[in-house]
Amino acid sequence: MNPSLAKSNYYYITAAVRKALKDLYYGGHDSLVCSGLLSHKNKRLNSIQSIEPGKFPKILLSYIHSEEPDKVQVDINDSEGHLVWTRIFRIDRSASTPEPIESSTLGKAELDAMVNEKLSQLRQEQELEQLRSRSQDLEDENEQLKSQLEEVEKTLEAKNTIEHLMSLAGTYGPKILGILRANPAPSGGLSGSQGSKVSLNNDQQAVWEMTAEFLMRLSPENTENFYYLLVELSNQPEQLPELIRIIHAKNTSHEV
């Protein structure tokens, strides 16, 4: 046996494996595992199982040196366990290079197909990422629209409230003022909750203005209640002193 010739044979095998790994990587396979089977005279010597591509050639060379096989089978599988490359080398120690007696390598057409498949997958991933980004943009726009819609609804609600109050003022205001004009305040004065005297007989205009200002502060329900109160008082003006007495008594009891 010529040791230098055998060593040349061994490096030819590892060189062929490295080239296959390189071709597969550029063909789109970025996750591979390698296995090897060493035999002599059709008897199994040893095997190498599921080794990373970067470590496999060196481990394979070490096994070949130690086991001295006459046949070496190398299999390369993808991450899903599919066989993507296999070759069986017969080591003839009298020849300068081992002879591949069985080969299942990828030709140019197969490599082109793998490259196109990988590019198509990358394009699909890119399109998917763009769709995700667009979906997020639409969600953000939807949130902004919801916020704007809420603001519009609040503005519209406030506008409707103001319009309703103005409508009530237009409906009940003249009626209330008409009742006040038709029933002028009695002579004398009105005792307030703190005993202050407010003269109403000599300045009915002030009373009307005070009433209008008071109406603007009332809710729609209380505006209607105030109108109905005035209607009752206009029909029974003699009840006004009694009403004032009740209000004054209630205020006095709260102060105590």
Long-range Cβ contact pairs of 102-109 (< 8 A, separation 24 or more):
105/20, 106/23, 106/24, 106/27
pLDDT at residue 178, as a whole number? 64
pLDDT at residue 56, as a whole number? 95
pLDDT at residue 109, as a whole number? 57
The residue written with tokens 């190498």 in the block is 48
Kindly state the DSSP code that residue 92 receives in the 8-state scheme.
-
pLDDT at residue 79, as a whole number? 85
Alpha helices for the chain (secondary structure H): 3-26, 56-67, 108-182, 204-217, 220-235, 240-255
- Domain assignments of the chain as residue spans, ordered by start: 3-106, 117-143, 164-255
Facing residues of 74 across strands? 36, 87
Average pLDDT along the chain, 256 residues, taken 10 residues at a time: 55 91 89 94 92 93 91 92 92 59 51 66 80 81 86 79 60 61 52 46 64 75 76 77 76 62
pLDDT at residue 229, as a whole number? 77
pLDDT at residue 195, as a whole number? 45
Contacts of 243 (CB under 8 A, 6+ apart): 233
How would you label 59-78 residue by residue, b for 16+ Cβ within 10 Å and e otherwise?
ebbebbeeeebbbbbbbbbb
pLDDT at residue 114, as a whole number? 62
Q: How many CB atoms neighbour CB 140 within 10 A?
A: 10
pLDDT at residue 207, as a whole number? 67
Contacts of 94 (CB under 8 A, 6+ apart): 2, 5
